Structure 1
Amino acid sequence: MAVTIKDVAKIANVAPSTVSRVIANSPRISEKTKEKVREVMHQLGYHPNFIARSLASQSTQAIGLIMPSSTDIVFQNPFFPIVLGGLSEGAQAKQYVLHMTTGKTDHEIYEGVVSMIQGGRVDGMILLSSKVEDKVLSYLHEQDFPFVVIGKPFKDTESITHVDNDNFKAAREVTNYLISLGHEKIGFIGGDLNLVVTVDRLLGYEKALEEAGIPLTSEYIIHNQFLREGGREAVQILLSSGAMPTALVVADDLMALGVLNALDEVGISVPEDLSIVSFNNVMIAEMAKPPLTSVDINIFNLGFEAAKSLIQKIENPNEPAKRIIIPYEIVERLSCSEPKAKKGSTP
């Protein structure tokens, strides 16, 4: 016979309503009582019936995740498993489950989001990226449906809760780091220009060059997908143009791995011939040859804070919009050095 709330209440010596409030993590119940009831639940093997709770409370206890339309990026780029880990932990803390959208195109994803919301299958949505043109974000905003963006919205920034790094500042800082080593021929390999993170990092890179009085060279700027192949293709474009910089700011570690592979194939050594700084600081950066200097953007925390912020909005509709900035850190490894010309002129 299945264990019931009444069974838990009897052994814990509390009212059934108290058990219900513990399951809902009500602030009206003391932590001591919560611990006692949860211990009894564990001993008895009691699992709350979330479907029944949803019918009673008009809440699904579910969060929808809006994934990129490119499955290659989701399955290959380590950013997504890590951010999903943070989202999962943040949701689990409040007993929410996660539902992922599926779709091969932006249109399919949009239709899936509309269906999910109109069908009452989720209490809120999290966008795992921010685009310059984003039909889904506009729909959520117009519907006044609870949602949070990982990344900075391109517009309506003050009225949309989002969790982000200061990508402009980070890109400016790593470009200045390369300039401080003596580099003047610095390139930028970024992702899709429809992604706000790409735009912010590009602008930070350009600002650092401008402040240093270094002319912008358009041939040094390449955009591609946040994939290993994207980095390889970017190097091929640079080589074919004949405009090879002495240093690169690469907007993603997986792309940077592709850059390293392509450079190695043509006999260009890192950092002896070319220095590289990348972003994300996933395991790839540490295991690359040479290990990559990378910006640690605290991916797990981006996910955790996004889930936490969305649940706050769900449980308190009057919760004001917030901008949560997750700190970053530049982790120096072995992929950067002075340019060859400078080394040769050192006494």
Structure 2
Amino acid sequence: MSGSGRRRRPTQVDIARRAGVSQATVSLVISGGAAADQIAEPTRQAVLAAAAELGYAANVAARSLKGGRNHLLGLYTFEPVFPTDQRDFYYPFLLGVEEETAAQGYDLLLFSSVSSAADRSIYAGGGNRLKLADGCVLLGRNVRREELAALVQEDFPFVFIGRREVEEGQLSYVGADYVAATSDVVGELTRLGHRRILYLRAIEDTEPTRDREQGYREGLAAAGLEVDESLIQGLDDPAELSAEHVEHWIGVYGVTAILVEPTEDNRLVDALTAMTDGERVRFPEDCSIALLGDPPSWTPEQRDWTRFSLPRSQMAREAVRMLVDLLGEPQPTSRQLTVPCTYVPGDSVGPAPVREELP
């Protein structure tokens, strides 16, 4: 109704008229990014002043005009973190970020996707959406490397939870020490007499996978064992892991222990449980097995698989602290922190079974 008295929200056209510039100029100033640097400073100030006067995104524009901050930290995930099969894995990260953000006196803004999960992008719409916040914590396995590189080039303050690298420069991250944790598991297996240890790695060549493989190699070297490349194998889908696989590795390669990367959902643990229920392969009587990370939704009622545990909540807290420190520096430089994991003995590793030597 025209007589309702409701005030129309100002638009970028209104700002352009007030500042005496084009709408394209207003869009560049408001959205920020590298292109905004092409705008003369007096013009930029005029646009921000007009935006503040008209009440257009006043909380952002007014602070930008004063050169201040929003006192707002962002959390962006490269994949959905709330599906039922993944929420238990991501929950400690989310909780740690939320609690430490509050402890640091900041508000937290969760950036959800404006498109489908497959098209999830920081730069959806052409601009860096994270700039609503002073800085951002990033999380996720399936990252867009080109977007991390763009953030580095923009000097936008962010910290990744997990070790990530880009060719365009160094970024700040808080990672789990997969190298030392995996090496320690190998050391425990060799102490129990295992000499034929198979490493079942993820197909994707990500930093966590490379770190685990490095730890596997270092652990064997520390025990005086040479690396048999045939004992480093990949599996497309951990849900396909079966008793047939394990029996093949035992019979053909003489394997007595297996190291395997867990998934962020329950596929791997479900496959292992199915093997245990089938009784064709017994862990650890026939073959020891250890997980190189946490089962996503383990409870005391489930089998206590031998593994190491990621300090997920601590990693999230450290990421927030690092981000706040970066915001306090006039010219922040990238920082990297690696946090130790915790060995969980479990019940799926035991002494190496005595078998005849392969010819």
Per the TM superposition, whether the score is higher than 0.5 is: yes
> Aligned to 1:322, which of 326, 335, 344?
335
How many Å separate the matches in 1 of 2:126 and 2:213?
A: 33
> Aligned to 1:307, which of 320, 334, 353?
320
Amino acid at match of 2:334: A
Sort the Cα spacing of 1:128 and 1:171 in 2 relative to 1 into closer, same or farther, 3 A. same
Amino acid at match of 1:233: E
Q: Contact (CA 8 Å) 1:153, 1:196: kept in 2 or not?
A: yes
State the Cα distance separating 1:126 from its structure 2 match: 2.1
How many Å separate the matches in 2 of 1:122 and 1:279?
A: 35
- In the other structure, the counterpart of 2:186 is 175
How many Å separate the matches in 2 of 1:282 and 1:273?
A: 22
Amino acid at match of 1:264: T
Q: Secondary structure at the match of 1:249?
A: strand
1:16-45 alpha-carbon deviations (Å, 9 max, x no partner): xxxxxxxxxxxxxxxxxxxxxxxxxxxxxx
Q: Secondary structure at the match of 1:202?
A: helix
The TM-score with structure 1 as length reference comes to: 0.70
**Equivalence map 1:63-78=2 (5 Å):** 63-69=73-79, 75-76=85-86, 78=88
Sort the Cα spacing of 1:324 and 1:292 in 2 relative to 1 into closer, same or farther, 3 A. same
- In the other structure, the counterpart of 2:90 is 80
How many Å separate the matches in 2 of 1:139 and 1:74?
A: 32
Q: Contact (CA 8 Å) 2:165, 2:171: kept in 1 or not?
A: no
Q: Secondary structure at the match of 1:324?
A: strand
Deviates more, 1:250-259 or 1:135-144: 250-259
1:252-273 alpha-carbon deviations (Å, 9 max, x no partner): 3756523422322442122222
Query: Cα RMSD over matched residues?
Result: 3.4
1:268-288 alpha-carbon deviations (Å, 9 max, x no partner): 122222222224446745536
State the Cα distance separating 1:61 from its structure 2 match: 3.5
Q: Contact (CA 8 Å) 1:131, 1:153: kept in 2 or not?
A: no
- In the other structure, the counterpart of 1:261 is 273
Sort the Cα spacing of 1:280 and 1:208 in 2 relative to 1 into closer, same or farther, 3 A. closer
Sort the Cα spacing of 1:80 and 1:71 in 2 relative to 1 into closer, same or farther, 3 A. closer
| 1:251 has 2:261 as partner | yes
Q: How many residues align?
A: 286
Q: Which has the higher helix share?
A: 1
Q: Contact (CA 8 Å) 2:139, 2:161: kept in 1 or not?
A: yes
State the Cα distance separating 1:128 from its structure 2 match: 1.4
Sort the Cα spacing of 1:113 and 1:63 in 2 relative to 1 into closer, same or farther, 3 A. farther
- In the other structure, the counterpart of 2:29 is none
Sort the Cα spacing of 1:168 and 1:158 in 2 relative to 1 into closer, same or farther, 3 A. farther
| 1:294 has 2:300 as partner | no
The TM-score with structure 2 as length reference comes to: 0.67
Sort the Cα spacing of 1:75 and 1:290 in 2 relative to 1 into closer, same or farther, 3 A. closer
Sort the Cα spacing of 1:234 and 1:199 in 2 relative to 1 into closer, same or farther, 3 A. farther
Q: Secondary structure at the match of 2:208?
A: helix
Deviates more, 1:146-155 or 1:313-322: 313-322
State the Cα distance separating 1:208 from its structure 2 match: 2.3
Q: Contact (CA 8 Å) 1:71, 1:104: kept in 2 or not?
A: no
Amino acid at match of 1:65: L
Sort the Cα spacing of 1:138 and 1:111 in 2 relative to 1 into closer, same or farther, 3 A. same
Sort the Cα spacing of 1:321 and 1:71 in 2 relative to 1 into closer, same or farther, 3 A. closer
Unpaired runs of 5+ in structure 1?
1-50, 225-229
State the Cα distance separating 1:52 from its structure 2 match: 6.3
Amino acid at match of 1:144: D
Larger radius of gyration: 2
Name the % identity: 21
Q: Contact (CA 8 Å) 1:129, 1:195: kept in 2 or not?
A: no
How many Å separate the matches in 2 of 1:235 and 1:222?
A: 14
> Aligned to 2:238, which of 231, 235, 243?
231
Amino acid at match of 1:340: P
**Equivalence map 1:1-347=2 (5 Å):** 54-58=60-64, 59-69=69-79, 75-76=85-86, 78-93=88-103, 94-102=105-113, 104=116, 107-112=119-124, 115-117=127-129, 120-129=131-140, 134-155=145-166, 159-211=170-222, 212-218=224-230, 220-224=232-236, 230-235=237-242, 238-239=245-246, 242-244=248-250, 245-252=255-262, 254=266, 256-267=268-279, 268-281=281-294, 284-285=297-298, 287=300, 289-341=302-354
State the Cα distance separating 1:70 from its structure 2 match: 6.2
Q: Contact (CA 8 Å) 1:252, 1:278: kept in 2 or not?
A: yes
